[in-house]
């Protein structure tokens, strides 16, 4: 599927979903889609992530693995949460489609160690 051949009156539905739950280390990127797995480009329709600790994290697209939260095209960044129980966390929501060019990967990276889970909806073109 390519954007040029799609009917402009019809929405493009997500074809792939990615979900993960893991312990993330500071400045270690989690690969969602590698550049090699994205030969024709893709659409990132939506994403939701939650981390257990208050740190900053971002969704980044780049042709190589990012080394920090600003190393690449930053698609979305997190919001820190302060809860009444004094437990803090961070949350990220992407509610608009993003076109990721061919040859670029999708990564999630944090500037602090935390436990997190996330869900992305993606269409490979």
Domain ranges of the chain: 16-124
pTM of the model: 0.78
**Could you say which of 3.30.200, 3.30.420, 2.60.120, 1.10.10 is the CATH number of the domain covering 16-124?**
2.60.120
* Higher-scoring residue by pLDDT: 9, 110: 110
Examine the pLDDT at 87 and tell me if it is beyond 60. no
In the block, residue with structure tokens 């493009």 = 12
Do residues 99 and 75 make contact, with C-beta atoms less than 8 angstroms apart?
no
Going by C-alpha positions, the residue among 117, 32, 16, 17 that lies closest to residue 66 is: 32
Task: Please give the pLDDT value at position 2.
Answer: 47
Report pLDDT digits (tens) over 3-49: 554 555 555 666 666 665 666 778 888 898 999 999 999 999 888 88
């Amino acid at each position: 599927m390519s954007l040029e051949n799609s009917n402009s009156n019809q929405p493009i539905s997500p074809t792939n979903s990615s979900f993960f739950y893991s312990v993330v280390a500071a400045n270690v990127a989690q690969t969602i889609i590698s550049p090699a797995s994205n030969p024709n480009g893709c659409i990132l329709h939506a994403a939701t992530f939650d981390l257990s600790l208050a740190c900053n994290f971002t969704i980044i697209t780049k042709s190589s693995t990012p080394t920090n939260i600003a190393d690449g095209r930053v698609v979305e960044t997190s919001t820190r949460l302060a809860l009444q129980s004094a437990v803090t966390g961070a949350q990220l929501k992407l509610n608009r489609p993003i076109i990721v060019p061919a040859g670029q990967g999708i990564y999630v990276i944090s500037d602090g160690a935390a436990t997190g889970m996330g869900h992305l909806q993606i269409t490979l073109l």
